[in-house]
Structure formats: structure tokens, C-alpha cells
Structure 1
Amino acid sequence: MDEPLRPVGDRWALRFERRFAHPPEKVWRAITEPEHLSRWYPFPATELDPRVGGTIRFSDGESAELQAEITEFLPPKVFAFREYDEETGTHELRIELHPDDDGCRMVFTHTFADKTWAAQTETGWMHCLDALTRALDESV
């Protein structure tokens, strides 16, 4: 299996591939509709304006708030957005869906600046993608 961490210019990218036994349209709903996105993403999504330039708001309902800008939105193929965190800087996330027999293959890429966060981030995404698999298998 390929190493998920790769250099991309002066930044780093974690790249994961997952195959789902669900059609791209179902996976698309799980990654772009706030109520479904909140079931697997690290922060609950409270709002999502589905268009390039649209905003995604994440909030834990208490003190943590995060905002992202949608940079690509091509249903049901590509969903990408950019987050900014004061502690860790700019993060770019890109999700591609590719039809694959009776399901689809997802390519999930997270690009960031500080390599020291890579191992922790990789572990976190593995848990999140496992949660996405469970959410898809349960319904959506």
C-alpha cells in the first residue's frame, strides 16, 4: 500500500482511497448535506451553501467554530473546500467520487503546511472515514 503522506510543493498532502458499496449519489449526500456530513466529519456542520464560493460553517454548539469556503463543487464527482485554523494554518480538502461497478471509489486528499501534524491528522482521518463507511452502511 502506498504511503498516504506526500510532499506537494512546499506543503504536504494526505491521500486516502476508499471503496464503497454505494452509488456515487448516495456518497455525495453523505459528504455534502450537513446532517450527514456531521455524522463523520470532525466538526458538526451547521450550514452548507452548495456552490463554488459558498460557505460551510462548523460548530460544536459551544465555543469551537470553524468556517470553510467551497472551492470546487461538481455533483456527484468533486467536492473541495478550504479551511483556516489559527493554530495550523490553511487546510485544503478535496473529495473525488468515481463510479466503480455497483458502488464508487472515493479519493480523499487533505493538503496542509505543517508536517508535524501529519501522523495525528492521518489517524484522525482514518477514524472519520471509518465513521463515513458506517454512516453509509446504516442509511443516508
Structure 2
Amino acid sequence: MTNRATETRSVVVEREIAHPPEKLWRALTQPHLIEEWLMKNDFKPTVGHRFNLRGEWGGVLDCEVLAIEPNKTLSYTWNFKHDDAAYDLQSVVTFTLTPTGTGTLLRMEQTGFRPDQKQAYGGAHAGWKQFFAKLEEVLARTD
């Protein structure tokens, strides 16, 4: 009996955002702002805090804060249980904020996609680009 390969793939989306890290951090960690660009949630910026992200499509993601370094790094699990095991996802999302001369380089890496999860992988690629576009709109209209 052979073990299935446990290699996984990552989605990485990077965007230069013309706002300081502190402002971006608020949008990543304040529940009412997270809801505006990502999903409804009961997030708290505390390591070990378990929370849900609730998508407009009715899906619920089970999450737990893994690491937090204010204005620099935020990491949490992003797990989705589905009736069809092919859509089950055990992943980790990590945001990294790096100050630049004109604002912040925001890097999002979502790790944990199995090789057979091509649809979820492609969906995440497209989804994060849409989330980031919404994030920029939220940043533009908040102080």
C-alpha cells in the first residue's frame, strides 16, 4: 500500500496598495471592515481565536487565528467541509504587509490545495483578486 502524495499547491496574490500598513491592517482585522471586502465574520485578532467566515453563497469557512504581528503578518486557517470530499479544503491564509515608498505591498498566500483540487485552486486565484479589488474600494472610502 502506498501513501498518497501529500504535496500541496499555493495561491499567491500580491498587490501594491497606496495606503499605509496601519490602515490596511485595520481592514484585515476589524470585523465590520472584513465584512465589507471579504465575508461576514466573528473575527477577533487573537491567536487561537476560532471564527467563521460566511459566504454569500451560503458556505461557511471554519477558521482559527494562527499568527498575528500587528501591521505586518496575519495568518489563519481557512477550512471548508463539503459533502463532496473533492471540495473539502484544509488551508492556511497568510497576509504579509511590507511598507513601500508609496504605501504597502500586500501579499496573500493560501497554502494547502491538493493536486486534485484544480477547481478550488482556480477559484481561489480568481476569488482573491476580486477580494483585493473590494479591499481597495473599502480603503478608499475609510479613514
TM-score bucket (shorter structure): 0.7 to 0.9
Question: Which of residues 130, 135, 141 is equivalent to 1:132?
Answer: 135
1:82 lines up with 2:82 in the alignment: no
Structure with bigger gyration radius: 2
Change (3 A) 1:85 1:54: same
Answer 1 or 2: which has greater strand percent: 1
SS at match of 1:52: coil
Deviates more, 1:87-96 or 1:68-77: 87-96
Deviation at 1:78, TM superposition (A): 0.3
Alpha-carbon distance in structure 2 between the residues aligned to 1:130 and 1:62:
19
- What number of residue pairs does the alignment pair up? 130
Question: Which of residues 7, 11, 15 is equivalent to 1:14?
Answer: 11
Q: Could you list the runs of 4 or more consecutive aligned residues of structure 1 that deviate by over 6 angstroms after TM superposition?
A: none
1:72 lines up with 2:67 in the alignment: yes
Percentage of matched positions with identical amino acids? 22
1:114-140 alpha-carbon deviations (Å, 9 max, x no partner): 331222221111111111111111215
Alpha-carbon distance in structure 2 between the residues aligned to 1:15 and 1:53:
24
Match of 2:93? 93
Deviation at 1:90, TM superposition (A): 0.6
1:26 lines up with 2:23 in the alignment: yes
Match of 2:113? 113
Match of 1:3? none
CA contact (8 A) 2:91 2:112 kept: yes
Deviation at 1:62, TM superposition (A): 9.9
Match of 1:5? none
Deviation at 1:76, TM superposition (A): 0.8
Cα RMSD, aligned residues only: 2.0
Deviation at 1:60, TM superposition (A): 5.4
Query: With structure 1 as the length reference, what TM-score do the two structures score?
Result: 0.83
Which residue identity lines up with residue 52 of structure 2 in the other structure?
Answer: R
Alpha-carbon distance in structure 2 between the residues aligned to 1:61 and 1:124:
13
Which residue identity lines up with residue 74 of structure 2 in the other structure?
Answer: F
SS at match of 1:48: coil
